[in-house]
Structure 1
Amino acid sequence: MNNLADRPRIYIPHEPCRWDDVGQTLVPIYDLGPATKHGTLTPLLPRGPLTLSSREVVAKLREQLQDFTDDDFILCIGDPVIVASACMVAAQINGDYAKVLRYDRHNKEYRPVEINLGE
């Protein structure tokens, strides 16, 4: 897998951010760099407060995750409801199977976890 298009995608449901008074912009709270060893970071929803209804969020997730495959991941970070929704949509699109990346605080790295709803 040399090229970015060949790498698995790591979908970020909704990246936690904070307001930076100096730069007058939203900046990420966490360094997601360690997750990139598993693939290419791909945001699903825009940063900042969401004004979308849950129906609109699910519709947007379906649109963004339509090409989700066995090789891809959902990054477990941010609003738990949005993470759960992204996992449900990804598994539904991909035959009841999805992988997530969960942060291991002890080893300071992201670990893959497989979710198979068909078993």
Structure 2
Amino acid sequence: MKCSECGTTHALLLSSLVPYSQIPLTDQQKICRDFEEGKNSSLVCEVNPSVDENNVKSVLRNYRQHWREKLRSLRIPLSPLNDLIRSCFSNYSSHFMQIHQRANQLFLYTT
């Protein structure tokens, strides 16, 4: 999409997509929530056959290394999902579980 203000082209992504990830946000959230609740995080593999145990391990590694303490520091809960997305964008200018650092902006309304 080309911005009428600055003339720059921007990619607009759905909030349900995590940039640079092939695992849906809802599955990543479920994996992290199950981990925090002491449940088996691999149960998401049964619901979504495109997610395997290696994906689960990768999500948990990224969560522990990049997001767990960020969420705890501001007391941001893992659910509801829409609140999690808004909180991550407003506090960190990044999508939840996005680990590549890019300048992101949340557009709540159409432009």
The TM-score range, normalised by the shorter chain, is under 0.3
TM-score (norm 1): 0.25
Q: Using CA pairs below 8 Å that are at least 6 residues apart, which structure has the higher relative contact order?
A: 1
Structure number with the higher strand fraction is 1
Tell me which protein shows more helix as a share of its residues: 2
